[in-house]
Amino acid sequence: MRETPTWRIPFGVLALVLALMVYGIAVASLVPPLIGGWNALAQTPVYVVLGIVWIMPLRRYLMWMETGRWTAPVDSAAK
C-alpha cells in the first residue's frame, strides 16, 4: 500500500469521466443514423456491445492509475 498520494488517481478519474462522456456522445450521435431503421431487437446487441467495449482497456488503465505501469507487476514469488 502506498503511503504518499499520487497525481495519477485524480487525473485518471477525471480523464476516465471525460473519455466516457466523449465516447457516450460519439455513440449517441453516430450510431442512430446507421442503425435507426433496424428493428429494436436488432439494435439491442449493437448497443450492448458498444456499452461493454469501453471496459476492455479499463484493467490496464486502472493498473496505471495505481502503479504507474501499464502491465501487471511481476510476482517474484511465482518464479
Does some domain include residue 45? yes
pLDDT at 1: 63
pLDDT at 13: 95
- What's the pLDDT tens digit per position in 12-65? 999 999 999 999 999 999 999 999 999 999 999 999 999 999 999 898 999 999
Does some domain include residue 79? no
Does some domain include residue 78? no
CA distance 8 to 12: 6
Does some domain include residue 29? yes
Question: Do residues 73 and 67 lie in contact, with contact meaning Cβ atoms separated by under 8 Å?
Answer: yes
Cell numbers at residue 23, please? 465516447
pLDDT at 78: 55
Predicted TM-score of the model (pTM): 0.76
Q: Which residues contact 48 (CB under 8 A, 6 or more apart)?
A: none
Looking at the structure of the chain, the number of domains it has is 1
Burial degree of 4 (CB within 10 A; 0-12, 13-18, 19+): exposed
Structural domain boundaries, residue 50:
8-69
